[in-house]
Amino acid sequence: MSVNALSDSSARKPALAAEQRSSLWLLLASLVVLQFGYPVTDAGTWWTVAYLLVYGGVIAFGVRTVRPDPRRYWPVAAASVALVVGGTWFAVQQDSVQATGAMLCGVGLLQLTLLVVLLTRLIRPPDDAHTVDLLLVAVCAYLLMGGVFGVAASLIEFGQPGSFVDNAHGAVEVGWQSLFYGSFVTLATLGYGDVVPVEAWARALWSFEGVAGTLFLAVVIARLVGVAGFAERDRRSNAS
């Protein structure tokens, strides 16, 4: 390989790292809006459509991140298509149980696919990854995990109504919005007791989520400590 080729490759690395970091910030912003901004869907049809459009940021991140790797590109692309189809159907027929189920399946599939991609990056960081990149990956993965479990709980409730109970509102049917809230409460092991599982599979799911959330934090902290040498490399990179 020529000296010029090596020089060009070295020059491209910072640009590629900056592009991936901007994608991670885009994903984080989108996930914060999506995972905690779902109450807007109760305000009317157009607010629900606007909420679903924010998933465009998640799709854009997925495509930009896995574009160089065909093995990851096609699963993310397929999950993105499933979300677009399910989201469009739900936007048109928001009172349809089938459309709601299709939307949730699309959301869960895309979030699960991205979660796997981010966990892989966290376990085996790329050579040009900086400390801030790994922190962004860890936070995004944690938010995605809550979303995946929220979808799973919603699908259990759709398949077997009455699997969950909302004691705060006394609702007979627990909507997906309440189950997303319950998922993050369980993931953070807060256990408020307002939205609770009452059927066996529902209890098993949220028991597993509570354990997974605790282990995730422990493993991520250990991993970040294990790659603490990135800080020194960050300083050398910034100096150069």
Q: Say what the alpha-carbon torsion angle 104, 109, 111, 116 is, to the nearest 10 degrees.
A: 160
Tokens of 97: 């149980």
Pairing label, strands 164-166, 195-197:
antiparallel
CA distance 42 to 47: 8
Tokens of 98: 């089938």
Phi, psi of 32, deg, nearest 5: -60, -45
Position 7, amino acid: S
Residues 39-91: tens digit of each pLDDT = 998 888 889 889 988 988 888 887 777 766 677 778 888 898 999 999 999 98
Say which residues have a Cβ less than 8 Å from residue 112's Cβ, sequence separation at least 6.
Answer: 79, 144, 148
Position 215, amino acid: L
Can you say how many angstroms the Cα of residue 87 is from the centroid of all Cα atoms in its chain?
Answer: 16
Residues 115-164: tens digit of each pLDDT = 998 888 888 877 767 778 888 888 999 999 999 999 999 999 998 999 99
CA distance 88 to 94: 10
Domains of the chain: 3-239 (1.10.287.70)
pLDDT at 221: 79
Partner residues linked to 57 by β-bridges = none
Residues 211-223: tens digit of each pLDDT = 999 999 888 877 7
Residues 153-203: tens digit of each pLDDT = 999 999 899 999 998 877 667 889 999 999 999 999 888 889 999 999 999
DSSP state of 163: S
